[in-house]
Amino acid sequence: MEDYKNFVVDPVNFGDLGQFVKNLTTDNLHYIPIVDAGIAQRIRSVSGKQPYLPYVDGMNKNVFIKAHSKTEEPFSGNVWPDDAVYTDFTHPNASDYWSFWLEGLQEQVEFSGLWLDMNEASNFCTGYCYWDQKSDHPVQQNLKYIPSGRNLEDKSIALDAVHYDGSLELDAHSLYGAMEAQHTAKYFTETLKKRPMIIGRSTFAGSGKYGSRWLGDNFSTADYMAYSVTGIMLSNINGIPLAGADICGFIGDTNADLCARWYTVGAFYPFSRNHNA
């Protein structure tokens, strides 16, 4: 990526990526890049570079989640690019916007599938990052029951952020990853005329119609190898048949014995991959 910007390949450090991937496909290998949910909020050009057009275009199309119901300003979260906004997949312009910029990435480097990450959608702030975006009457203060007993805005978009259809993030949060997968699948079927290959982290019941999932950032321990079996079976029950976990573990160092055992189990995952921090 260039400057942590979605859809933009670094032209200096990875200028030959497109040709590199073309060489891979001759060996029947496939390239599946990560696209994060957070769109870098790069308001103006930096060091002579042009403004970040996916952000500018999204603002013009009004397709980003709003900070709250009494403002037209997009919610500004914080992820890898620091300030970031989030595509509102309930907006009627969202599909055209998403497909247009995915096609822009396709023109830079041909990809066979997409890995949708950080799509809970993640936010390194606890709800709002900036005080001037806060709602006057936060909805979380009025909840009679808080599932899990923890702050629901922890590493997440603020619950008072509002979508185009009028729903608060409180109500739409669990659907975000599923809607992103749905719009991404539409790009593959309608623009590329290909069967989608989508890997998602945040999903919802029935998401398997559009893509697969892995179980997120697990730990390199035997306990998490065991959890993966029930996690995959639960995904199957929820309509996501192609599911798997990070073989050998993601967080922390694995070891030869654990990794060998995990590969034995992982060979039977519907979706099988190795992935480590």
Per-residue pLDDT of the chain (277 residues; tens, 9 = 90+): 888 999 999 999 999 999 999 998 778 899 999 999 999 998 776 666 778 999 999 999 999 999 999 999 999 999 999 999 999 999 999 999 999 999 999 999 999 999 999 999 999 999 999 999 999 999 988 899 888 888 999 999 999 999 999 999 999 999 999 999 999 999 999 999 999 999 999 999 999 999 999 999 999 999 999 999 999 999 999 999 999 999 999 999 999 999 999 999 999 999 999 989 9
Domain with CATH 3.20.20.80 in the chain: 17-214
E strands along 91-130, which residues?
114-117
Q: How high is the pLDDT of residue 46?
A: 63
Q: How far apart are CA 274 and CA 277, in angstroms?
A: 11
Straight-line distance from the first to the last Cα atom of the chain, in angstroms, rounded to the nearest whole number: 18
Which H or E run contains 213?
A: strand 212-214
Distances in whole angstroms, Cα of residue 134 to Cα of each of 78, 170, 189, 198: 15, 15, 39, 34
Nearest C-alpha neighbor of 161 from the set 191, 192, 130:
130
Task: Tell me which architecture the domain covering 17-214 has in CATH.
Answer: Alpha-Beta Barrel (3.20)
Q: How high is the pLDDT of residue 45?
A: 65
The question of whether 153 is a catalytic residue gets the answer: no
Q: How far apart are CA 241 and CA 233, in angstroms?
A: 9
Catalytic residue from among 57, 73, 110, 120: 120
E strands along 46-163, which residues?
77-79, 82-86, 114-117
Residues sharing a CB contact under 8 Å with residue 268, sequence separation 6 or more, in sequence order = none
The question of whether 120 is a catalytic residue gets the answer: yes
Q: How far apart are CA 92 and CA 95, in angstroms?
A: 7
Contact 143, 153 (CB under 8 A): no
Look up residue 39 and give its two tokens. 């769109």
Catalytic residue from among 117, 153, 180, 246: 117
Nearest C-alpha neighbor of 63 from the set 105, 8, 101, 117:
101
